[in-house]
Amino acid sequence: MIDLHTHSLLSDGELTPAELARRFEAAGYKALAITDHGDPSTMDLIIPRIAAFCEEVNRLEGIRLIPGIELTHIRPKAIPAMVSRSRMLGARLVVVHGETMVEPVAPGTNRMAIESSVDILAHPGLITEEEVLLAREHSVTLELTSRKGHSLTNGHVARLAQKIGAPMILNSDTHAPGDIWPVGRLHEIVVGAGLTEDDYQTMMKNAESIAKRCLT
């Protein structure tokens, strides 16, 4: 099992990167992306530290770690430059904090993230059909989430993505130990969004494909 959206205390999470990794490993996960919230004021500090930590852990047996970043509350016009900068700093996975209903994300964030070809658009809220079409064209993966609040629009995202054929993924957006979902119950989030067990398996394959790309 793989989770590609998590946070440590390098942003607003409760756990050190090492404890975050260990708890996911103990829960049965085989790969994990650490994607702390970042913006122009913090990304220079966060990404190199996470990249160095992941490199050290990946020399050993056990869970594979992917250094990433979740660009959060970035002004839409600044997103393309921040995506490029994130990759230059060592982020192997770039997530953008989408237009969730429960935070005041700037309008236009979803579209600019997609046009910037980020890896994952997290909790994209009431994303439009046009934006989902663009996500398919730019190979941007849309996130369903188990996180409280952000998950309110899982059904909407799933319906449009399935209709249009845009790729989807399931992530936890973990901030605390209680956010780590048991592997055996992950399919419930997908089925609860109106999808099927087959859709769940497809989403797991999407996660494997992204992780493999990031780890090579």
Q: Assign residue 19 the CATH number of its domain.
A: 3.20.20.140
Radius of gyration of the chain (CA): 16
- Helix axes of 129-137 and 154-164: crossing angle, nearest 10 degrees: 60
Q: Using one digit for the tens of pLDDT, what is the confidence trace for 106-162?
A: 999 999 999 999 999 999 999 999 999 999 999 999 999 999 999 999 999 999 999
Q: Distance (Å, rounded) from C-alpha 87 to C-alpha 73? A: 18
Span 56-60, average pLDDT: 96
- Name the amino acid, one letter, at 15: L
- Helix axes of 17-26 and 43-57: crossing angle, nearest 10 degrees: 50
Percent of the chain at pLDDT exceeding 90: 100
Domain enclosing residue 127, as ranges = 2-215
Alpha carbon 179 to chain centroid, angstroms: 14
Q: Give the pLDDT confidence score for residue 33 in this predicted structure.
A: 98
Supply the DSSP symbol for 165: T
The pTM score is 0.97
Span 167-188, average pLDDT: 96
Contact 76, 112 (CB under 8 A): yes
Q: Coil, strand or helix: which one is 42? A: coil
Domain count along the chain: 1
Q: Distance (Å, rounded) from C-alpha 208 to C-alpha 189? A: 18
Q: Give the pLDDT confidence score for residue 64 in this predicted structure.
A: 98
Supply the DSSP symbol for 31: E
Residue 47 burial (CB count, 10 A):
25
